């Protein structure tokens, strides 16, 4: 079965009644965890972005404390998983400020981790890529926010 384009789906959704839309959304939420998470964000957390960010930061902190630090192989695997989770939460929000804040927090947690990421080139490269990504996003933000976040980036770079 070939999936319809977003435009085709949007057009068809215009023809559905409110009850049919509710049924469709509930059915979608049963299929994938990501669908349910996105609906949760849009319905309950979108109005309070600060609380959403703080909840994610708390989760990321807990994930960093559970990393098996015996070998860099396990550290790399866990850090990539945490980054994937952070990127998923960023996709739900679609706000650049949220993206910058979460990536900065991820990078600061990565820097504070023991053993140091400076002893492993893969982790160091992952860190550097995230810093470059943050800097690119900063260019699209308001000047005041750019300054505030650039100060934070400089702190992370030193």
Q: Residue 144's pLDDT is what? A: 87
The CA distance from 125 to 33, in Å, is 30
Is 87 in a helix, a strand, or coil?
A: helix
Strand (E) positions, the chain? Answer: none
At residue 156, the pLDDT reads: 84
| Cα distance between residue 81 and residue 16, in whole Å | 39
pLDDT at 77 over 90: yes
Would you say 104 and 132 are in contact if contact means Cβ atoms under 8 Å apart?
A: no
pTM: 0.85
């Amino acid at each position: 079965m070939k999936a319809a384009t977003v435009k085709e789906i949007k057009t068809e959704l215009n023809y559905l009644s409110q009850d049919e839309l509710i049924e469709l959304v509930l059915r979608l939420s049963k299929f994938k965890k990501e669908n349910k998470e996105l609906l949760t964000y849009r319905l309950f957390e979108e109005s309070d972005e600060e609380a959403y960010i703080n909840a994610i930061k708390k989760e990321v902190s807990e994930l960093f404390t559970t990393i098996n630090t015996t070998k860099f192989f396990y550290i790399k695997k866990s850090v990539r998983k945490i980054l994937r989770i952070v990127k998923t939460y960023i996709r739900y929000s679609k706000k650049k400020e949220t993206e910058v804040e979460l990536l900065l927090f991820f990078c600061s947690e990565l820097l504070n981790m023991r053993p140091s990421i400076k002893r492993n080139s893969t982790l160091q490269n992952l860190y550097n890529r995230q810093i470059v990504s943050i800097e690119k996003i900063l260019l699209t933000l308001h000047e005041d926010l750019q300054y505030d976040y650039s100060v934070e980036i400089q702190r992370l770079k030193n």
